[in-house]
Amino acid sequence: MSVYLEFAKKKFLNKMVYRFDYIAGILNTVMTYVVFYCIYKALYGGAQAVSGITFSMVTTNFIISLCLSNVYSFDDEFIQRKIHDGSIANEFLKPVNFKGRILAENIGENCFRILFNFLPALLIASVFTRIEKPSSVLFLFLFIISTILGYLILWEMSFIVQTLAFWMYRVWGIGTIKDVIVSIFSGTMIPLWFMPGKVMNFIKLTPFDSIYFTPLKLYLGQITGNDVVLNFGRQLLWIGILFIIGDVLWKCGEKKVVVQGG
């Protein structure tokens, strides 16, 4: 475990060097939020609520999901580059689990982004617009736990895309499609409260709403009682399913890999 903590620490310290990166990240999050804020402000037309969804709930959805989406930064082409330069062969020989290593490095990077991107962007947005407070300390804690589970779901998706590099020369297109689908069906682009019933029923069969929308509803206290356990169960189930898919693809890729450089 100490080895993986060192990987995470090293990545965290490495990100500290590139100060402009996190400043640009804050500006990007805030500017995107302002655009969405203006669009939905116009759509609401001065109304306090639409279909029971208040404007402050919508702004809370945007700022939390946009901040988290900027924190959850994944390099979908990491394995692809390893294959192209031939260094993937060395990874197979190392005594450290490759998947555990890149997860540790990503956790280190995301810890940096939470401190120097998520929190500053959240503070700036809260100064200019009203953001709902968590319904209670308990639900704030549940929100944090659900956010971690949502992160693992999205990370497993990224790892699956990365492993496709064993069969594809470029995974950029697949990664882009993945990002667009996640943006639409996770509630980042359009709050899922406004999705038609049939679309929402479909989304519930996928892991997408478990990434951002489930944590948000816990934050607002919209999930209570047994539904809390059910939603955590859904997140854990999707983590397990995606983990198995990624693990199978990785093991198949180890047998198929053809080094294209090095």
For residue 50, the SS3 value is strand
How far apart, in whole angstroms, are the C-alpha atoms of residue 237 and residue 241? 6
For residue 36, the SS3 value is helix
Note whether 204 and 187 are within 8 A (CB).
no
Note whether 70 and 121 are within 8 A (CB).
yes
For residue 66, the SS3 value is helix
Q: What dihedral angle (degrees, nearest 10) is formed by the CA atoms of 250, 251, 252, 255?
A: 120
**Which segments in the chain show pLDDT lower than 70?**
1, 18-19, 257-262
How far apart, in whole angstroms, are the C-alpha atoms of residue 89 and residue 262? 10
pTM for the model: 0.90
How far apart, in whole angstroms, are the C-alpha atoms of residue 38 and residue 40? 6
How far apart, in whole angstroms, are the C-alpha atoms of residue 17 and residue 112? 11
User: What's residue 262's pLDDT?
Assistant: 46
Closest CA to 26 of 104, 107, 120: 120
90 to 45, 54, 59: CA distances (angstroms)? 59, 54, 47
For residue 112, the SS3 value is helix
Contacts of 209 (CB under 8 A, 6+ apart): 185, 186, 187, 192, 203
List pLDDT tens digits, range 35-62: 888 888 888 887 888 888 888 888 888 8
